[in-house]
Structure 1
Amino acid sequence: MTTTQWSAETTTPGQYADVNGVHLYYETHGTGRPMILLHGGLGSGEMFGPILPTLAEHHQVVAVDLQGHGRTADVDRPLDVTLMADDVAALIDHLGLEKPDVVGYSLGGGVALQVAIRHPEKVGRVVSASANIRRSAIYPEMLQQQGQVSGAAAEFMKDTPMYELYQRVAPRPEDFPRLLDKIGAAMAKDFDFTEEVRGLRVPTLVVAADADMAPPSHYVEVFNLLDGGLRDGGWAGEGRPAGGHALAILPGLTHYDIFLSPLFAAVTLAFLDKAN
């Protein structure tokens, strides 16, 4: 992965919205049905640079930099998917958007799910990619690696796309160790959103790589919670999940390149553009 892959190569000027005490940065690309696009941890909206033109071809894409990421400065609160989901809901109100779709990857996928859980009346459809609903689903060796993430690791990350991006765009580039501390603390916290997902009322596409941070069976489990994969779909689709949910396991990809993939863009658009 090179740093150029993480650059949007765009001259679109961004804007800020003051929501919940956060000076939240966002960029708007394209026109059409609105889509809120949420990046992964230690990234920003620029992560989607390679697929952004495809997404923006028929959609108005609002790419957000979440709390403490990219061009959005950190504030004095933990990095928590529920709080960031409330930020996104407030941004939807701020922009006057009527039930936009919400698409997120990794951290952003977790936030997208929480927007649907906490603010179902505000969103149309949701795509949650490479997001785990239980901490225990993550491979043990990955949990061990996550346990080593802290500000002390900043020096060792200077050759990574995450560090390069942060230094280039963050309002306070010196805050990178603080972001690592907060991400580390967030990843160390146990979570289980099984019951919340079971009650999800927003049509949701669960996406994962076939070699993701958790086994494919975990994403199938999420689909099961949404009434999917429990019976034959039927000739006319009558056996598909009642809530309009879907599942996509994408071949040949990992947690670290799925967000760049044309396959991810293709399944996202196919799901969002499907007639209700």
Structure 2
Amino acid sequence: MSFGRPVRLSRRTSLNERTRETNTMTGTDWTTDAQGTGQYAEVNGLNMYYETYGSGRPLILLHGGLGSNEMFGPVIPALTEGRQVIAPDLQGHGRTADIDRPIDIRLMADDIAALIDHLGLEKPDVVGYSLGGGTALMTAAKYPEKVGRLVAASIYLRPDAVDPALRAMQGQVNAAAAEFMKDTPMYQLYQRVAPRPEDFGRLLDKLGAVMAEDYDYTEDVRGLQVPTLIIGADADQAPPSHYAEIFKLLDGGLRDGGWMNEGRPKGGHALAILPGVTHYNIFSSPLLAATILTFLTQES
């Protein structure tokens, strides 16, 4: 899965340019008009911070790598219309301090399942972007009885789904990159809210380690038992064809849908490619919120 945009270490002279580019793409204004309540929950040895917004059917919202629940600030007001949004900070991110284990979407899925139990939620919908999208996917794959619907945005199944140049950049993610990220919103947010701001380099090391691993989540997707929406940007880290490949694993795109939807995927799955956005701003796009809500409110 993808985690964010790495910073090149090999070109010091381009640092200011890269910083401005990162700020533009990720957006420094992640504020929201929604009023939330922040709390902590002890789950799997993790003191997990989460914020709750609104009321209604619960939706768990999972942020991307090097971010926190603040990433969704611009879209939370839309998502809370008639719904309760629960937005945790994942292991080592935001206000949730790291613990002695790898950053691993399978382990973080266990955290989300434990949070569902802790809050006594009845099959909430689970929505995630990038690292959070992988965690959401794995939560549904491992705990289908705990999840209503799944939305996974800006994920990919294998490292070879992305451009080799991007893979090379991801290989540079480590603690040494912290110095080059001090002017980015990710670094500044972490310094502002993290229980141990000095752990930013440790987080980079852990994310770099997991991105260096080989992986293939094909069978996890193929085995999904809950209605699933796959979302990609039309200029995402993986090409639109990869999201179509994921959809095909879910019985999608194989036949005409039919006048009465009789040819649609049997599990109620769907695919959306959002126009005019990238991996680095899809999470704050009004298109994302509208697409999520359309899927979550439709009949299977």
The two structures have a TM-score, normalised by structure 1, of 0.98
Whether the 8 Å contact between 2:75 and 2:289 is mirrored in structure 1 is yes
Q: 2:191 aligns with which of 167, 182, 191?
A: 167
Secondary structure in structure 2 of the residue aligned to 1:57: coil
SS of alignment partner, residue 29 of structure 2: helix
Rate the CA distance shift 1:245–1:11 in 2: closer, same or farther, 3 A: closer
Secondary structure of 1:54's counterpart equals helix
| Match of residue 263, structure 2, among 239, 248, 256 | 239
Length, aligned pairs only: 276
* One-letter amino acid of the structure 1 residue matched with residue 81 of structure 2: E
- Look up the SS of the partner of 2:42 in the other structure: strand
Q: Distance in 2 between matches of 1:86 and 1:76?
A: 15
Match of 1:29 in 2: 53
Inter-partner Cα distance in structure 1 for 2:103 and 2:277: 27
Equivalent residue number for residue 115 of structure 1 = 139
Residue 186 of structure 1 deviates from its aligned partner by 1.1
RMSD (Å), alpha carbons: 1.1
Distance 1:116 1:270 in 2: 20
Deviations 1:202-226 (A, max 9, x none): 1000000000001111100000000
Structure 2 residue ranges without an equivalent (≥5): 1-23
Farther off after superposition, 49-58 or 131-140: 131-140
Letter in 2 for 1:78: P
Cα offset, 1:3, TM superposition: 5.8
Q: Which residues of 2 match residues 119-268 of structure 1 at below 5 A?
A: 119-268=143-292
Cα separation, 2, equivalents of 1:245 and 1:3: 31
Letter in 2 for 1:121: E
Cα drift, residue 9 of structure 1: 5.7
Q: Report the alpha carbon displacement of residue 165 of structure 1 after superposing the two structures with TM.
A: 0.5
- 1:93 and 1:131 map into 2 onto residues whose CA distance is 26
Matched AA of 1:256: Y
Paired with 2:126 and 2:27, the residues of 1 have a C-alpha distance of 26
What amino acid does structure 1 have at the position aligned with 2:193? V
- 2:67 maps to 43
- The one-letter code matched in structure 2 to 1:267 is T
Gaps of 5+ in 1: none
Q: Give the whole-Å Cα distance in 2 for the aligned partners of 1:10 and 1:117.
A: 31
The offset of 1:8, in angstroms, is: 3.8
Query: For the residues of structure 2 that align with 1:11 and 1:130, how far apart are their CA atoms?
Result: 27
Q: Indicate conservation of the 8 Å contact 2:163/2:238, yes or no.
A: yes
1:261 is displaced (CA, Å) by: 0.4
1:149 is displaced (CA, Å) by 0.5
- Could you give the per-residue CA deviations for residues 84-115 of structure 1, whole angstroms, max 9, x where no partner exists? 00100000000000000000000000001001
Name 2:105's counterpart in structure 1. 81
Check whether the contact 2:33–2:77 (CA below 8 A) recurs between aligned residues. no
- Post-superposition offset of 1:275: 2.5
Match of 2:64, SS state, is: coil
Which residue type is aligned with residue 17 of structure 1?
Answer: A
For 2:271 and 2:74, the matched residues in 1 are separated by 23
Asked whether the equivalents of residues 51 and 86 of structure 2 are also in contact (C-alpha less than 8 Å), the reply is yes
Displacement of 1:10 in angstroms is 5.7
Contact 1:3 1:160 in 2 (8 A): no
Return the offset for 1:6: 2.4
Letter in 1 for 2:140: A
SS at match of 2:36: coil
CA drift of 1:27 comes to 0.4
TM value normalised by structure 2: 0.90
Identity of aligned residues (%): 70
The 3-state SS of whatever aligns with 1:14 is strand
Counterpart-to-counterpart distance in 2, 1:25 and 1:189: 28
**What is the aligned counterpart of 2:38 among 14, 26, 32?**
14
CA contact (8 A) 2:102 2:206 kept: yes
The DSSP-based 3-state class of the residue aligned with 1:26 is strand
Structure 1 contact 8–47 (Cα < 8 Å) conserved: no
2-structure distance, mates of 1:76, 1:7 = 31
- 2:294 maps to a residue whose letter is A
Read off the aligned partner of 1:12 and give its amino acid letter. Answer: G
